[in-house]
Structure 1
């Protein structure tokens, strides 16, 4: 496999964790985007709500897509991990997700989990896309 790691400087440095923010398979043109969270360069969250962290994670997803020469329109699959019961948040998340995805409408899976990358992290979003 011929692959290229993507690590935009706007996102936190994943190298201490042994990961890249995204990896492009240059043969298939697929982009695998690591779980995006509301973290700054010091691995701290800036939002305290699921809604706020979802918006920040989507902003970081957009940064990773841009750096990988992809876009929201090229998203194929998205997984959203929510700390707690997903059903408690679906009505407030639906408009945020619908606005971000627009007409792209990728395959989407929502998963409620007990924990994420840090105790303050409430949302994590990973994706697969195609390069332009």
Structure 2
């Protein structure tokens, strides 16, 4: 396995754990507490993203963790989570569909954004 493949494999493993954390929080807030999908998805994202950011910085990208990188990552991915939750509310998607759609989109977008923007070696 080449370094690029190892990096992506690490990102996927951390992403699976992140997805599990996100799913438990999302379903608890939406089904258990009756919050909207948009707010449940955004809140669940906020919980899971902290784990994901630090784990990926340390294990996947071996990059320095910083407040500014964290804020950029949370801002970008948070907008995606809120938008997908909002679409789920508008079209009344089942909560599981919203969660799965966000998880798939965040895997691809999150990896590319992390690799090319957040954890690039030439930025702080």
The TM tier, using the shorter chain, reads 0.3 to 0.5
Instruction: Give 1 or 2: higher helix fraction.
Output: 2
Instruction: Give 1 or 2: higher strand fraction.
Output: 1
Query: What is the TM-score of this pair, normalised by structure 1?
Result: 0.38
